[in-house]
Amino acid sequence: MKTIRLELKKRSYDIIVGSNILGRLGRYISKLNIGYDAYVLTNASIKNRYGNSLEKSLKQSGLSVRFKLVPDTEESKSIERASLIIKDLAHYDKAKRIFIVAFGGGVIGDLTGFVASIYKRGVSYLQVPTTLLAQVDSSIGGKTAVDLVEGKNLIGAFYQPRLVLSDVKFLKTLDQRQMRSGLAEVIKYAIIKDKQLFDYLETRYKDILARRELCLEYIVKRCSSIKVNIVSSDEREEKGIRTILNFGHTIGHAIEAAANYKVYNHGEAIAQGMLVATEISKALNLINPKTAQRIESLIKKVGLPVKIEKVALEDIIKAHYRDKKFAGLKNRFVLIKGIGKTKIVENVPLLIIKQAIKKLTNQPHHTA
């Protein structure tokens, strides 16, 4: 077990990573002194599988528990869903000292954080991520959001949790598609910040997919540490440091939106977005073809898509204009100068972007 401290002055908190540690959650919460009544947002499958263990841990520490079930789909990240949860929360909250628990994957975590940030102008919440993607990325750093039809994560706030507890035992029962989706974010961390991690993934990806516990702990601890170092230096993305975490996300989010969140899950779209960003980096002579080939090969080996299907190139282009990193009409891409080295580039020519996407789609495009 490892405790990683995210230092943000009064908003500092621990990320606890280990195996079979859910039973300790109640004790950790009691030490935080954030309340006595847990409002747990989760989905039906997580509640059925792990709900009793979580409830037992909290009740042993004298805490009450109420579960609120939310469908585990991107459609749940909506202002309408958040409103329904807040109404239910308000009914439950009478004469109680409440805190909220995100018990699930990235959708549950984003939605919970958003609800916690706006209910009563902010109540305490904690993250108990159950997917690889959430454990290595979305549960850490305080980015909370819901989607609009017009784009992903367009309504949100920076709002830090009080604790993150990542139990890798949850990953043993994760379906293979979700496991691969999480590996997309692990690969992202390796590409932007850690060549040693990239080498590790190239040699140990089969053990990771086979859920070898030591391998799972290693990648969750490593990625959590990388994210903590980045967020502690640039919590609100004001210095350009945290921006590198968006590698692959400009086009990845556009692919998700262009497909109405129905074709690819988040990790799959980010894998494709990373390949597009890699192609752009190669076209701008920032990396050599060998580096690009290593990245594509690893993404392919773990079973993530290396082709974009059922989504039109022009729809992706249209959706990418809504990216939050745009400065006015200028696009901003996180690109790479090598494995472990990034460069933020503004005003990438549209033709180069289209050509990079086209390599993954095999669709014709117009240069006009």
* Set 143, 152, 332, 354: catalytic member: 143
Q: Is 266 known to be catalytic?
A: yes
d(CA 280, CA 140): 28
- Please confirm, yes or no, whether 11 is among the known catalytic residues: no
- Among the listed residues 193, 253, 332, 354, the single catalytic one is 253
Does 143 qualify as catalytic in the annotation?
A: yes
- 318 assigned to active site: no
The one catalytic residue among 77, 180, 188, 249? 249
Question: Which residue in 47, 222, 266, 354 is the catalytic one?
Answer: 266
> Which of the residues 9, 10, 94, 121 is marked catalytic?
121
C-alpha 318/C-alpha 274 separation (Å) is 18
Q: Among all chains, which residue has been given the structure tokens 């580039």?
A: 345
Quick check: is 185 catalytic? yes
Among this protein's residues, is 56 annotated catalytic?
A: no
Residue 249 a catalytic site member: yes
- Which one of 242, 282, 320, 354 is the catalytic residue? 242
> Is residue 237 annotated as part of the catalytic site, yes or no?
yes
Catalytic hit among 77, 152, 246, 256? 246
Catalytic residues: 121, 143, 185, 227, 237, 242, 246, 249, 253, 266
